[in-house]
Structure 1
């Protein structure tokens, strides 16, 4: 299989070129202007950041991409789908409030924000997944599927269930409606290590499905109510919650790949990842821990699989930041993401996406 091209530039600047100008040069050099945007509806899929989180991408970067599309004649909007868990983005009104509070307004980005799965997360398109191992019909936010062209603008960081969150995570999980997110998370049910649990109730506050109770000062998860979203795993201060099935994270990664297939098939798409503020957890958290490695740079490609692979390789070449979560973990692997979240295997998503024909893990890195 022929290698995919991934274009890269670091975060160094000059008096003649700032970071925003450098991003525009990157996406142009990578060939984004080869797409016919003229009068085409173009969705830029981005994560607006949970309220309280400060690691999400700055809206300035979104404006660069939106302006590029408008300069090419496209009709562009920023988009995301509502969340499955309790938080500040669980319905379109709260989601818009959060997007605006975090700087993603039409005045700062030059384009509108559209919550793709509607007011309550039920506005969805059913998209067949040919060759899907788990998903036969993906539930994708309707506005995403109504767009003629799809662009992902990704914050590359760690993730407690998938190892890292990059292009595929932003596309697959991010574009799933609330029902779609539930389908992707449904393989594994969380469990509580009673010896570790301190009964603080943090998990209860973050469970959208009333699946957790405190009994004798210990948390207990009712498996019939649990949808496997993993939110309780991320918020537990003593790591008492964990996935009950050893293969559940692998299944989640494969479902994300299958949802990504549904989003991308049969239309032009392009992908941009910024490896900056590489926090150990997803931007869906209402907080962000310190980065685990130094900032790396900006990457762009027509191939989201190659893009994720290139970003992962770049992160794994970086030194560990002292005082970060990663510096406190035992380093049994030559892989920062596996060391940060030992129960995950991020390569599963990329391998499955390659099998589905989304892209290629082999890449040529071209420095801009």
Structure 2
């Protein structure tokens, strides 16, 4: 069976080569510089880190990727979409402020930042998902779909719902608009937290389906009319409109894979994962626990599926860091991610991505 190639280098440096230079060498050895970037827009999808979390990738790594794109005549920009939950990245203004707080700027990265789904998370493109089992039209951030080339720059870490967050998570979940994220996370439709509602009517004005009414100074949503677009969530000034986070984890993973297909299909793409500061939970938390394993290294591939599998295999070969949640939970499942979050199953995303033709599980690891 044909294998995908995944390139790897560890985190050791010399007096002649620092980590950014080593990442440059890895990327060029992997072949990213063979993409035709000339006069093309290149979206570099990454996570800017929730304020309070310190496990996110430093902006220096983003600059390394952006510099290679510019070296070959491309126009790179960093991007992410707004979050579904309330936090420091729920709209474009807060999102850009959080990115700046965490050190992301034109000076530190060499390129601009565009929030993919706009001010309130409603600027989206409906992308048909061929052979989608769970998603017929993925709701992807407009700026991301406008790009000619897509590059994912991933911080590989654990995740409390998907097992781990790597390339598929960064692409599928990260590129979904607010409505897209709701579709992946939820099997239902939004509802109003009445104690937070001030009866301003902003949500009702945004609803194109007359599903929202005001009664007694409080909004309510008629789920028979609601189509689950999520615009009311972004519009509410008090965060009173909420989406139920109730989708089964396996289905969440499969939806995430289908969103990944929508983002990647029909254009050049390349993927980079840094297996460092492997926190047990997502960078969307406003805090991060100590890493569960020692730093492993940097990986790159044209195949995001093989990349995720190679990173997971590398993490599972590592010993638990003393005092980490992994050590405390023990090794009951022969899989570090399942040991930390037993209700997850990261392999469901991998298997579904393979069935969609996104990539292969089998890989050849080339160490540089």
Q: TM-score, normalised by structure 1?
A: 0.86
CA contact (8 A) 1:78 1:113 kept: yes
CA contact (8 A) 2:79 2:116 kept: yes
Name the CA distance, whole Å, in 2 between partners of 1:358 and 1:305.
Answer: 7
> Which residue of structure 2 lines up, in the alignment, with residue 86 of structure 1?
86
> Which residue of structure 2 lines up, in the alignment, with residue 20 of structure 1?
20
Name the CA distance, whole Å, in 2 between partners of 1:130 and 1:362.
Answer: 24
Name the CA distance, whole Å, in 2 between partners of 1:5 and 1:141.
Answer: 29
> Which residue of structure 2 lines up, in the alignment, with residue 235 of structure 1?
none
CA-CA distance at 1:228 after TM superposition:
3.7
Pick closer, same or farther for the CA change 1:336–1:212 going to 2, 3 Å: farther
> Which residue of structure 1 lines up, in the alignment, with residue 65 of structure 2?
65
Residue 193 of structure 2: which of 206, 210, 215 is its match? 210
CA contact (8 A) 2:191 2:242 kept: no
> Which residue of structure 2 lines up, in the alignment, with residue 151 of structure 1?
151
Say yes or no: does 1:257 pair with 2:257.
Answer: yes
CA contact (8 A) 1:188 1:249 kept: no
CA-CA distance at 1:210 after TM superposition:
3.0
Show structure 1 runs of 4+ deviating over 4 A. Answer: none
Say yes or no: does 1:272 pair with 2:272.
Answer: yes
Name the CA distance, whole Å, in 1 between partners of 2:45 and 2:139.
Answer: 16
Pick closer, same or farther for the CA change 1:75–1:250 going to 2, 3 Å: same
Say yes or no: does 1:227 pair with 2:243.
Answer: yes
Name the CA distance, whole Å, in 1 between partners of 2:194 and 2:357.
Answer: 37
CA contact (8 A) 1:84 1:208 kept: no
Q: TM-score, normalised by structure 2?
A: 0.86
CA contact (8 A) 1:86 1:208 kept: no
> Which residue of structure 1 lines up, in the alignment, with residue 6 of structure 2?
6
Aligned pairs for 1:1-368 within 5 A: 1-187=1-187, 210=193, 227-229=243-245, 248-368=248-368
Pick closer, same or farther for the CA change 1:18–1:208 going to 2, 3 Å: farther
Name the CA distance, whole Å, in 2 between partners of 1:211 and 1:38.
Answer: 52
Please tell me the root mean square deviation across aligned C-alpha atoms, in Å.
1.8
* Aligned residue-pair number: 325
